[in-house]
Amino acid sequence: MFNTTTAGLITSTTASDVVAVVAAAAAAASMTATTADPDGYLSSTMTDILSLDVQKAMIEIDTDLKVSPVTLSSDWSRVARLLLLASLAVVGSVGNVFMISAVMVEDHLRKLGNSFLVNVALADLLVTGLVLPASAIVILAGQKETPGICKFEWTLEALCFLVTSLTLATVAVENYSRLCLSAQTYAKVTSRRVTTLTLAIWFIAAAAVALQSTLKLGPDFCGRRFHGIAMEQAIGAWFLVILPAFVTIFCYIKLVCRVRHTIKRSFKPPTTLAWDYELAKTNIYSFVLFVIFWSPLITALIMSNFMNVSARIFYNLAWFALSKSCINNLLYCIFDRHFRNAYVKLFNYCCCKTGFTFGRRTRGHGTASSGDVRLRVHIIHSYASPSACRPNIAGRVNGRDVYEL
């Protein structure tokens, strides 16, 4: 009777009041036993049993409270947690900005279908630019997580997860259409349709998260209640996660088979086909990375329907899944040459300042215009830049850069 009552009280309160609730329940049960047994024999036995149950419950609660959905595990020092979250936020945010900018910088990446890759990077940027910094600020302020911050972070994480799941399936369909279908069929991919589909993905994901939060379905990460997945949530997961995953796998398997068959028949495949196939393989690696990082948390949620899973396991797996947003942009830099070239250009522009755009002005009556002064300053800056940051220009005369005006 005590265990059932205590469990109900624990699940209906916040983490900060759990110990007080357990102690109050134990005191109430002890008073009831004393009233029922005036001699005190039964009351002493009940008190001993209840004290053991209370100690056991408090130990389990303390163990669960050591890890937080906002501030990581308290087993780590405050400085270590702050440095880890700040580093992940900076590296992930810069990488995601580079990934978004690469589609605009590199000529071969300026295709409508690659807008979906920008959508994936944007979802990752929301995690690295809002969720991780919010946790770092809480740790820096020396405060515990509040329900408002926790709900904000986990709502945004669920939104970005669903957006990524749906967008990766869209990327797979677009890659298959680009490489395996005719040019007339792929011409149906217009800017209006791409924009409409992207907005529809965000709307569907936001509606699903809003319904889950309003109806309070499934596990509650902020309330530390993990009692399995509700039937409505399972149906939504089928249409928004599992079915898109099957579509992605089917499209990529069919794409690889078709492209390999085409390459075997052709003596020298077109360069554009090779570049698009290289990007498609990188998209496959990105999907595999998404599955690797999120599958453990999804598996734990499914197992919570059949057995008790501690909050420590859920939170550790959730933080592991979030780290995917910091790594996905590096994957494109490693496996795709055009993203790598774009990253190098962006790095040189941001750090070395080797690229400039000059505006021409007409000279007036033999006097030098103000544009010449700015041009001279830029040339001097180029000489002052480190040699490692200046590109090797063919046609250097006597070791000096020659600019054609």
pLDDT for 366-380, tens place per residue? 444 444 444 343 433
| Domain housing 209 | 72-351
Position 132 scores a pLDDT of 94
Dump pLDDT digits (tens) for 106-164.
989 999 999 999 999 999 999 999 999 999 999 998 887 788 899 999 999 999 999 99
The percent of residues in the chain predicted with pLDDT above 90, rounded, is 45
Please determine, for residue 208, whether its predicted confidence score (pLDDT) is greater than 80.
Answer: yes
| Same domain for 83 and 40 | no
DSSP state of 390: S
336-347, pLDDT tens digit by residue?
999 999 999 998
State whether 118 and 220 are in the same domain: yes
Domain identity same for 224 and 127: yes
The answer to whether residues 122 and 358 touch, using CB atoms and an 8 Å cutoff, is no
Count of positions (residues) in the chain:
405
Based on the fold, state whether residues 58 and 78 are members of the same structural domain: no
Rounded to an integer, what distance in angstroms lies between the CA atom of residue 216 and that of residue 42?
A: 42
81 and 33, same structural domain?
A: no
Last residue of a domain, one of 312, 329, 351: 351
110, burial (CB in 10 Å: exposed 0-12, middle 13-18, buried 19+) = exposed
Tally Cβ neighbours within 10 Å of residue 4.
8
pTM for this predicted structure: 0.73
For position 65, what pLDDT does the model report?
62
d(CA 145, CA 124): 23
Cβ atoms of 69 and 158 within 8 Å: the answer is no
- For residue 287, CA distances in Å to 169, 176, 179, 292 come to 9, 15, 18, 9
Residues 347 and 210 in one domain: yes
Residue owning tokens 């972070």: 153
pLDDT of residue 45: 46
Residue 49 tokens, joined: 């049993």
Amino acid identity at 105: V
What pLDDT does 358 receive? 41
Which of 64-68, 271-275, 301-305, 384-388 shows the lowest mean pLDDT across its residues? 384-388
pLDDT top residue among 387 and 10 = 387
- 51-to-4, 5, 42, 351 alpha-carbon distances in Å: 16, 15, 14, 64
Contacts (Cβ under 8 Å, ≥6 apart) of 389: 348, 351, 352, 353, 354
137 and 88, same domain (yes or no):
yes
- Residue 303 corresponds to which tokens in the numbers above? 């197992």
Q: Choose from 3-12, 44-53, 98-107 the range with maximum mean pLDDT.
A: 98-107
Say whether 366 sits in a helix, a strand or coil.
coil
Most confident of 102-111, 169-178, 355-364: 169-178
Q: What is the sign of the dihedral through the CA atoms of 223, 137, 324 and 63? A: negative
Question: From CA 318, how far away is CA 72, in angstroms rounded?
Answer: 10
- Give Cα separations from 398 to 342, 379, 385, 401 (angstroms): 31, 16, 18, 9
52, 77: one domain: no
| Euclidean distance between CA atoms 215 and 229, whole angstroms | 13
| Amino acid of residue 342 | A
Number of domains in the chain: 3
Last residue of a domain, one of 39, 65, 91: 65
For residues 277 and 215, state if they share a domain: yes
Which helix (H) or strand (E) segment holds residue 72: the answer is strand 72-73
Residue 215 confidence (pLDDT): 81
Which pLDDT band, with edges at 50, 70 and 90, does 70 fall under?
confident
Same domain? 347 vs 386: no
The pLDDT score that the predictor gives to residue 232 is 81
Quick check: 33 pLDDT over 90?
no
Q: Which of 2-11, 87-96, 253-262 has the lowest mean pLDDT?
A: 2-11
More confident call, 76 vs 293:
293
The confidence score (pLDDT) of residue 267 equals: 66
Element of type H or E holding 150: helix 147-180
Residue 222 confidence class, pLDDT cut points 50, 70, 90: confident
| Dist. CA 285–CA 280, nearest whole Å | 9
Q: Same domain, yes or no, for 315 and 168? A: yes
Do residues 93 and 44 both lie within one domain? no
DSSP letter (8 states) at residue 39: T
| CATH code of 253's domain | 1.20.1070.10
